[in-house]
């Protein structure tokens, strides 16, 4: 056998199941870990012990031969799905690991990760039992971190000091919002280029997002307009002017249903590449069809948590949007002064 291989297995023969897809933003070079849907193709099963050809594998509580993973000299990527305490404790000795994913686990601490100084990409999905993230902040080579549904975590101060971190995503779930005590930890992430929040809520009062002003290398921000208070979005617009995703405005138009793009519409004759680049309002389906929002189902959704909405066809829509726009402009003026003072300090 020549070259190195990945530990592969027929997914249909596995009892492991995972219901969610790949939430990693794979634009750029931040993530090389295999997508979620491919994890089961790398089960350890009956791979020969100490095989030098294995570079990727997956283990869990059902694997009797899981300890063989400790002897793979060239292993760089490891997924632990529903791991045992013994498995979590053992992986700390694996210095070759660069990409690590842990799902559905309840360790009381993340100290077992601290010795894994070579880890560059880390995914924690449905991992609870701990509240201290400082072992992650101590990883000198960590450059991409995705955390989802960390039920006992609300303070992210332990991440401060992750000087190499370029990508950070903090996710809740559709039925549970990830609480975040404050955003002071952003001051300790000087290399951050991508910051994403999904289904999250902030406990700190305004100006909670002011630490974002220190993200001088930030390129992309992904925060839905409903997660923070309205004045926090105005603050982010002023603090992160020019950053992709840091422009919400006082409201957006949202269609609750779609209709096929009419054949006589000018956009019908454009190429898919042009549509993707210049017309985000047009949805491209896998079968080649194109859809747009149904005008009869359109609403103005206002920026900010619980900020409300109004149907576009409502007689009150114009006045309501004007009122929200004036309020938002005032918030931006206040935020601009705050940002100027912070930068001058």
pLDDT at residue number 11: 37
**Longest CA–CA separation in the chain, Å:** 73
Q: Is 159 helix (H, G, I), strand (E, B) or coil?
A: helix
Q: Which residues contact 60 (CB under 8 A, 6 or more apart)?
A: 16, 66, 80, 81, 82, 83, 87
Q: Which residues contact 196 (CB under 8 A, 6 or more apart)?
A: 25, 168, 169, 170, 171, 221, 222, 223
Task: Give Cα 182 to chain centroid, integer Å.
Answer: 18
Q: Is 316 exposed, middle or buried (0-12, 13-18, 19+ CB in 10 A)?
A: exposed
| Token code pair at residue 83 | 């791991």
Among 113, 130, 131, which residue's Cα sits nearest to residue 122? Answer: 113
Instruction: Tell me if 107 sits within 8 A of 116, measured CB to CB.
Output: no
**What are the pLDDT digits (tens) for 9-50?**
333 333 334 445 678 988 889 999 998 877 766 777 756 677
Q: Is 92 helix (H, G, I), strand (E, B) or coil?
A: helix
Instruction: Tell me if 282 sits within 8 A of 261, measured CB to CB.
Output: yes
Cα(273)–Cα(291) distance, integer angstroms: 15
| Token code pair at residue 66 | 């899981």
Q: Are strands 298-302 and 309-311 parallel, antiparallel or unpaired?
A: antiparallel
Q: Is 140 exposed, middle or buried (0-12, 13-18, 19+ CB in 10 A)?
A: exposed
Q: Which residues contact 189 (CB under 8 A, 6 or more apart)?
A: 159, 160, 162, 163, 165, 168, 215
Mind listing the pLDDT tens digit of every residue in the chain (345 residues)?
334 444 443 333 333 344 456 789 888 899 999 988 777 667 777 566 777 888 999 999 999 889 989 988 899 999 999 999 999 999 999 999 999 999 999 999 999 999 999 999 999 999 999 999 999 999 999 999 999 999 999 999 999 989 999 999 999 999 999 999 999 999 999 999 999 999 999 999 999 999 999 999 999 999 999 999 999 999 999 999 999 999 999 999 999 999 999 999 999 999 999 999 999 999 999 898 999 999 999 999 999 999 999 999 999 999 999 999 999 999 999 999 999 999 998
């Amino acid at each position: 056998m020549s070259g190195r291989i990945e530990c592969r297995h027929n997914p249909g023969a596995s009892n492991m199941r995972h219901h969610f897809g790949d939430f990693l933003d794979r634009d750029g070079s931040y993530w090389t870990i295999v997508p979620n849907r491919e994890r089961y193709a790398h089960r350890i099963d009956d791979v020969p012990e100490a095989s030098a050809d294995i570079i990727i594998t997956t283990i869990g509580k059902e694997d009797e031969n899981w300890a063989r993973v400790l002897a793979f000299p060239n292993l760089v990527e490891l997924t632990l799905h529903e791991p045992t305490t013994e498995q979590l404790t053992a992986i700390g000795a694996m210095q070759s690991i660069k990409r690590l994913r842990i799902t559905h686990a309840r360790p009381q601490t993340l100290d077992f990760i601290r010795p894994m100084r070579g880890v560059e990409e880390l995914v924690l999905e449905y991992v609870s039992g701990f509240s201290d993230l400082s072992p992650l902040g101590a990883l000198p080579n960590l450059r991409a971190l995705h955390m989802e549904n960390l039920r006992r975590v609300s303070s992210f101060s332990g991440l401060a000091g992750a000087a190499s971190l370029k990508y950070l995503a903090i996710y809740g779930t559709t039925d549970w919002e990830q609480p975040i005590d404050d955003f002071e930890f952003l001051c300790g992430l000087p290399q951050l280029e991508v910051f994403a929040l999904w289904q999250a809520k902030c406990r700190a009062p305004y100006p909670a997002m002011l630490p974002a002003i220190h993200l001088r290398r930030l390129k992309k921000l992904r925060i839905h307009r409903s997660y923070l208070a309205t004045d926090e979005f105005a603050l982010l617009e002023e603090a992160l002017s020019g950053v992709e995703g840091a422009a919400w405005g006082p409201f957006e138009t949202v269609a609750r249903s779609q209709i096929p793009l009419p054949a006589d519409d000018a956009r019908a004759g454009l190429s898919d590449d042009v549509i993707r680049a210049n017309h985000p309002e047009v949805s491209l389906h896998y079968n080649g069809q194109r859809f747009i929002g149904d005008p009869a189902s359109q609403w103005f959704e206002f920026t900010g948590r619980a900020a409300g909405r109004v149907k576009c066809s409502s007689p009150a829509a114009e006045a309501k949007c004007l009122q929200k726009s004036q309020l938002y402009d005032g918030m931006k003026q206040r935020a601009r002064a705050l940002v100027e003072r912070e930068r001058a300090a």
